[in-house]
Amino acid sequence: ILAKYSADPAEVPIYGEDWLDKRGQTLAEARKAIPNLQTYRKGPGEKLPDWHTLERCVFGIDVSRQMMRIAMMNLVLHGIQDAPIKRGNTLSEIGGLTEDDL
């Protein structure tokens, strides 16, 4: 879904776009100077028609309350606020899920 509704992804070095600006180079020039330069494809997700669909796709279950707090804070920092993060034992018979979750 994200790839379908995003703008064309741009190739960015793993050091970030600021790194290129500080060097005063384009990506092509940096690749010529550093042949094994690692990059990744970066694209915005603001063109998603329904952000709630993306939030429902992210979920988690953990026994530790501390890990639940860390996971929720990470999601909030990335703009995902309604993801279901629950406390439960994933090694139990139903994986910490209630009948409503199934």
56 and 11 inside one domain = no
20 and 67 inside one domain = no
Indicate the number of domains in the chain.
2
Instruction: Find all residues with CB under 8 Å of 96, minimum gap 6, and list them.
Output: 61, 63, 86, 87, 88, 89, 90
30 and 62 inside one domain = no
Model confidence pLDDT, tens digit, residues 8-29:
667 778 787 888 889 898 888 9
* Residue 83 belongs to domain spanning: 50-102
Q: What φ, ψ does residue 41 adopt, rounded to 5°?
A: -95, 125
Q: CA–CA separation, 29 vs 100, rounded Å? A: 55
Window from 33-37, 38-42, 44-48 with minimum mean pLDDT: 44-48
Q: What is the pLDDT of residue 66?
A: 93
Model confidence pLDDT, tens digit, residues 60-97:
888 888 998 998 888 887 777 778 888 888 777 676 66
34 and 60 inside one domain = no
99 and 55 inside one domain = yes
